């Protein structure tokens, strides 16, 4: 229901704790049975119910029928246009062409999705300003407020979001620099190891030869000790066996 009513989901995903933090709902005890139930109740009462009422979904029957309707998220979930709103296809010819291609896909599910998107565009229904505000499309507005049955819902947009995005972009750039530096240093280490191997190749070969000799002689001595220490040898040698072996 959150996916349908909040579409496009402003918090990025519909995980319960993500929505709780985004809408500044009370902390009830994350990932506990009672805490999660209370958080669901808070989310429904303070966020979902006012939106549902604004759309005329004021009974469980209407909500169930609404949830059962064919629906796909307004943000494209895959492909080269991933993350874009389908409404942008009204002005973007490339995105519209991609939706046409999707509708003609050999994959039945993708084709069904594409046809549904095209129908939404053909209906040319006005999109609530609050929906775009929740999606962060209009960044000049810090919040969007609309009334439903004399109740107001304030949709909060984090004013630090742009700063956080810049920090993330800076961290990614620094990570890319470190990866380049690591690759450069690793190349130097590999070159040094190759040079050392060329200089020490004869020593490595001699070491391997000596190891083979030692392993061979050790196996020979172990086999000889097993034969000499066996019960059959002791019975045959008798009292003079030790002197004969000596």
pLDDT digits (tens, 9 = 90+) for 43-82: 999 999 888 888 888 898 998 898 888 888 888 888 888 8
Are 156 and 21 in contact, with CB atoms under 8 Å apart? no
Evaluate whether residue 237 is within a structural domain: no
Tell me what percent of the residues of the chain surpass a pLDDT of 70. Answer: 78
- Whether 85 and 138 map to the same domain: the answer is no
pLDDT attached to residue 190: 87
- Domain containing 63: what range? 2-69+126-158
| Domain's final residue, options 122, 150, 183 | 122
Give the model's confidence band at 144: pLDDT under 50 very low, under 70 low, under 90 confident, else very high: very low
Task: Give the C-alpha separation, 244 to 246, whole Å.
Answer: 5
Which range has the worst mean pLDDT, 22-36, 42-56, 132-146?
132-146
- Whether 191 and 146 map to the same domain: the answer is no
Among 89, 85, 62, 90, CA closest to 72 = 85
pLDDT attached to residue 140: 43
Evaluate whether residue 242 is within a structural domain: no
| Mean pLDDT to the nearest integer, 134-155 | 40
| Mean pLDDT to the nearest integer, 84-91 | 85
Q: Under DSSP, is residue 173 helix (H, G, I), strand (E, B) or coil?
A: helix
pLDDT exceeds 80 at position 111: yes
Could you tell me which residue, 157 or 244, shows the higher pLDDT?
157
Q: What's the domain count of the chain? A: 3
Q: Tokens 């775009």 appear where? A: 132
- Whether 224 and 185 map to the same domain: the answer is yes
pLDDT exceeds 80 at position 242: no
Evaluate whether residue 74 is within a structural domain: no
Tell me what percent of the residues of the chain surpass a pLDDT of 90. Answer: 14
Evaluate whether residue 183 is within a structural domain: yes
- Whether 148 and 63 map to the same domain: the answer is yes
| Domain's final residue, options 134, 158, 182 | 158
- Whether 108 and 143 map to the same domain: the answer is no
Evaluate whether residue 139 is within a structural domain: yes
- Whether 110 and 205 map to the same domain: the answer is no
- Whether 38 and 143 map to the same domain: the answer is yes
pLDDT exceeds 70 at position 153: no
Which stretch, 130-139, 223-232, 235-244, has highest mean pLDDT? 223-232
Evaluate whether residue 212 is within a structural domain: yes
Evaluate whether residue 88 is within a structural domain: yes
How many other CB atoms are there within 10 angstroms of residue 72's CB atom?
15
- Whether 62 and 135 map to the same domain: the answer is yes
Give the model's confidence band at 233: pLDDT under 50 very low, under 70 low, under 90 confident, else very high: low
Q: What are φ and ψ of residue 9, in 5° steps?
A: -60, 115
Residue 149 backbone zone (phi > 0: left; psi -120 to 50: alpha; other: beta):
left
Give, for 23, the enclosing helix (H) or strand (E).
Answer: none
- Whether 193 and 219 map to the same domain: the answer is yes
- Whether 154 and 222 map to the same domain: the answer is no
pLDDT attached to residue 134: 43
- Whether 63 and 176 map to the same domain: the answer is no
What are the Cα distances from residue 15, in Å, to 31, 95, 132, 230? 11, 29, 21, 73
Q: What are φ and ψ of residue 148, in 5° steps?
A: -140, 115
pLDDT attached to residue 137: 40
pLDDT exceeds 90 at position 139: no
Evaluate whether residue 36 is within a structural domain: yes
Could you tell me which residue, 94 or 233, shows the higher pLDDT?
94
| Mean pLDDT to the nearest integer, 218-233 | 82
- Whether 147 and 176 map to the same domain: the answer is no
């Amino acid at each position: 229901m959150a996916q349908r009513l909040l579409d496009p989901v402003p918090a990025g995903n519909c995980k319960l704790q993500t929505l709780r933090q985004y809408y500044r709902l009370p902390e009830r005890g994350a990932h506990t049975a009672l805490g999660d139930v209370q958080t669901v109740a808070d989310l429904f009462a303070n966020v979902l119910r006012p939106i549902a009422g604004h759309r005329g979904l004021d009974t469980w029957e209407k909500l169930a029928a609404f949830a059962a309707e064919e629906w796909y998220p307004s943000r494209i979930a895959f492909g080269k246009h991933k993350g874009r709103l389908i409404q942008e296809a009204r002005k973007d010819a490339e995105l519209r062409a991609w939706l046409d291609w999707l509708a003609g896909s050999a994959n039945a599910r993708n084709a069904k999705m594409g046809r549904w998107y095209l129908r939404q565009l053909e209906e040319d229904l006005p999109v609530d300003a609050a929906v775009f505000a929740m999606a962060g499309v209009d960044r000049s507005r810090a919040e969007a407020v609309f009334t439903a049955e004399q109740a107001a819902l304030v949709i909060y947009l984090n004013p630090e979001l742009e700063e956080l995005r810049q920090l993330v972009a800076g961290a990614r750039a620094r990570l890319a620099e470190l990866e380049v530096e690591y690759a450069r240093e690793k190349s130097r280490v590999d070159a040094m190891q190759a040079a050392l191997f060329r200089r020490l190749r004869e020593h490595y070969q001699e070491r391997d030869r000596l190891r083979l000799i030692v392993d061979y002689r050790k196996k020979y001595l172990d086999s000889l000790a097993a034969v000499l220490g066996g019960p059959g040898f002791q019975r045959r040698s008798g009292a003079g066996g030790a002197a004969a072996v000596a």
